[in-house]
Chains A and B, each alone.
Chain A
Amino acid sequence: MEARNTIRKRYYFVTGILFLLALGLLLLPHRKNVKELSPEDLLVSISTSDRFYSPENVARLIISGDPSIQLIDVRTAEEFAAYSLPKAINIPLANILDKDKKGNYVWQDVLNQDIKTNIIYSNGTVYANQAWMLISRMNFKNNYVLKGGLNAFFENIIKAKAPLASAPQSEIDLYSFRKAVAMYFGGGGSISTATTDAKSGDGTPVVKKKKEAKSGGGC
């Protein structure tokens, strides 16, 4: 009888510990794991040039109003306010990894998604590339870079030089396309487009996307 009581006491003890552990789990928040790309994988994706979108492609997508693309402007807010591509979202490079109080990335909902294709741009390619690298490291999907940045966009498209009359048909077609784009952007060859306040389209100012309530409580 004595031994039996000790065993029973032990069971109560273990039951108590189990209950405490369970209570602990109930009270602890679920930790979110952010998967980072390993350096090797990152190197592979850097060395392929798949991440680039040519200015022509971007222009075509903008004009056709393709809803599946999302332009991300990583220049500073001032530069963004001065000029931006239509419907671009401004996420200055310095703020791209900002976290909210809960430790979630503020821009995660914009940058990490399956639905839209993000095209990152800055004035040149360098800052956009840096931004791309940072978010690729976070293993966020569907992010691309505008090749040559805004400069190339204007050099190639808005200020497109007319080809010689003897140029092949494809080149002339390309030129007429570029001309059409330039018309769309209202540039028409004027040099000052990039720096004047003439905003084209509806370049939305800094509007932070509200973090949507996640459905379900999982990870």
Chain B
Amino acid sequence: MGPLIQQGIINPEWNSIIAFVIGISFGFILEQAGFSTARKIVGVFYGYDMTVLRVFLTAVVTASIGLLYFNYLGWIDLDLIYINPTFIWSAIVGGVLVGLGMIVGGYCPGTSFAAAAIGKIDGIVFIGGLFIGVFFYGETYNWLFKDLHEAGNLGAITMYNLLGISSGALEFFFILFAILLFWMTIVITKKFSNKLLKY
């Protein structure tokens, strides 16, 4: 059956409308969860508010379990969905830069839009920074970033391909790891909430 657009079950013209509706849901949830304030996002790294990590991990666990069960039931063809290609060095360096930007600016690209939407000026400024950053990257791509951008291409591989185990087995260990993290967030919050590290 799915993905419906790729399988030609839904006319591709509907794709942008679907994107819009899914975007509404995405934005609504992030704002509802409190991602529209830098306080929550920074909170993860100082141990006083684990919301971001909890939401993030729950979403990943839900989606990955769902996708695997959907695939098993034949509702979705996992071979047709988009798997991000792995470029190992650019993923690491880029990821660290996003992390740095997140702790300096207090947002990540998605959450800054949620913040801007409800009138947070710093969110709007952050988005301005994003545009400048991408523009800078585009202008200097050929002589500064190109080699790094293309280095270490492993193709569109998944964790279970890499480790040579079945997708179910990988998901099993991943969920165990996630459960461990969930309980850890509870412990961490308890420990740090006494230390008055909040602002």
Residue of B nearest to A216 (CB): B164
> Smallest CB–CB gap between B46 and chain A, Å?
23
> Smallest CB–CB gap between B9 and chain A, Å?
11
Of residues 3 to 40 in A, which have CB atoms within 8 Å of B's CB atoms?
Answer: 11, 15, 18-19, 21-31, 33, 35, 38
Residues on A with beta carbons closer than 8 Å to the beta carbon of B186: 11
**Which B residues contact A (CB, under 8 angstroms)?**
8, 61, 65, 68-69, 71-72, 74, 77-80, 158, 160-161, 164-169, 171-172, 175-176, 178-179, 182-183, 186
A164 at the interface (CB under 8 A from B): no
Judge whether B175 and A19 touch: CB under 8 Å. Answer: yes
Question: A31-65 CB contact bits vs B (8 Å, 1 = yes)?
Answer: 10101001000000000000000000000000000
Judge whether A25 and B165 touch: CB under 8 Å. Answer: no
Judge whether A217 and B160 touch: CB under 8 Å. Answer: yes
Residues on A with beta carbons closer than 8 Å to the beta carbon of B168: 25-30
Number of residues in A with C-beta < 8 Å to the partner? 23
A219 at the interface (CB under 8 A from B): yes
> Can you show 30 pairs from A to B with CB atoms below 8 A apart?
A11-B182, A15-B182, A18-B175, A18-B178, A18-B179, A19-B176, A22-B65, A22-B172, A23-B172, A25-B68, A25-B168, A25-B171, A25-B172, A26-B168, A26-B171, A27-B168, A29-B168, A30-B166, A30-B167, A30-B168, A31-B74, A33-B79, A35-B80, A215-B164, A216-B161, A217-B166, A217-B169, A218-B160, A218-B164, A219-B78
Judge whether B72 and A28 touch: CB under 8 Å. Answer: yes
Question: A119-163 CB contact bits vs B (8 Å, 1 = yes)?
Answer: 000000000000000000000000000000000000000000000
Once the chains are docked, how many angstroms separate the CA of A28 from the CA of B74? 13
Judge whether A25 and B78 touch: CB under 8 Å. Answer: no
Residue of A nearest to B168 (CB): A25
